[in-house]
Amino acid sequence: MRFVFLVVILPGLAAAAEIPQGSHALLKLVNSVTTRTAREGDYVYMRMATPIVANGQVLVPADSYVQGIVSHTLRSGRVKGRAELGIRIETLTRASGKVIQLSPHLASVDAAGSGQQVNHENEIQQSGNQGTDAARVATLGGTGAAVGGLAARSWSGAGIGAGAGGAVGLATVLLTRGREVDLPQGSTIDVVFDRAVSLD
């Protein structure tokens, strides 16, 4: 007697599991990274903060390991130049131990009021200091005017004090670096996959 076996391939199983193009992933930093100490080539360790889900199926579970590398770092300047930090996401380690190559781009970063944001070059950049610098010069100038006016009991004393205070404020601004890019442990980064990534 002959038996005929029919192989039925379900549509959902026919295609290999893959992260679809345009998918977002939220990554949480395991180690901290800052432009004060980071060097190109340093490793950045992360975990998936949330799972990647497609068509009702969990493709990548939360807490999966992700590794990246510092691709660019620039400290903040004293007079101009904003701090910049480039992170290239490279690998995902599955529960089975298989390592998958990745190359998503950065979409946003957990700024927590720091002014950090992802720029058009796919790097995390710190905001400028112009407002705080001007406020510092104005505050020290005003303080100098008050002290000068009180000490000399005249408008000319106030003018001299304002000039001295403003000079001190300007010198402080010129000798102080701006804010650095700081990503403490637990910070999150949102990334987007520009192309589909096979998980098989």
What are the tens digits of pLDDT across the range 140-180?
445 544 544 455 556 565 566 556 555 554 444 444 457 89
Look at residue 52 in the predicted model and tell me its pLDDT. 94
110 and 146 inside one domain: no
CATH classification of the domain holding 84: 2.40.128.260
Look at residue 200 in the predicted model and tell me its pLDDT. 83
Look at residue 150 in the predicted model and tell me its pLDDT. 56
53 and 146 inside one domain: no
Look at residue 151 in the predicted model and tell me its pLDDT. 58
Look at residue 128 in the predicted model and tell me its pLDDT. 59
Contact by Cβ (8 Å): 85, 69: no
Domain membership of residue 9 (yes or no) is no
Contact by Cβ (8 Å): 103, 196: no
185 and 146 inside one domain: no
From CA 98, how far away is CA 105, in angstroms rounded? 22
64 and 135 inside one domain: no
User: Mind giving me the DSSP string for 166-189?
Assistant: HHHHHHHHHHS--PPPEE-TT-EE
36 and 121 inside one domain: yes
By three-state DSSP, how is residue 120 classified? coil
Domain membership of residue 8 (yes or no) is no
Helices (H), the chain: 11-14, 130-152, 155-175
99 and 29 inside one domain: yes
Going by DSSP bridges, is the β-strand pair 188-192/24-29 parallel, antiparallel, or unpaired?
A: antiparallel
Its pTM stands at 0.67
Look at residue 139 in the predicted model and tell me its pLDDT. 52
Look at residue 168 in the predicted model and tell me its pLDDT. 52
Long-range contacts of 95-103 (CB under 8 A, 24+ apart): 95/61, 95/64, 100/197, 100/198, 100/199, 101/197, 102/66, 102/193, 102/197, 103/194
Contact by Cβ (8 Å): 170, 200: no
115 and 36 inside one domain: yes
How far from 117 is each of 105, 181, 189, CA to CA, in Å? 13, 9, 10
Look at residue 13 in the predicted model and tell me its pLDDT. 42
The per-residue pLDDT for range 131-140, each reduced to its tens digit, is: 444 444 445 4
144 and 85 inside one domain: no
Domain membership of residue 4 (yes or no) is no
105 and 152 inside one domain: no
Best CA proximity match to 92, nearest among 33, 42, 51:
51
Domain membership of residue 75 (yes or no) is yes
Mean pLDDT by 10 residues, the chain (200 residues): 48 65 96 95 96 92 97 79 92 93 94 80 76 46 50 59 53 58 94 94
163 and 99 inside one domain: no
86 and 121 inside one domain: yes
Domain membership of residue 135 (yes or no) is yes
State the residue range of the domain holding 164. 130-175
Look at residue 95 in the predicted model and tell me its pLDDT. 87
Give me 83's structure tokens: 């701090």
31 and 66 inside one domain: yes
Number of domains in the chain: 2
Best CA proximity match to 84, nearest among 69, 95, 72:
72
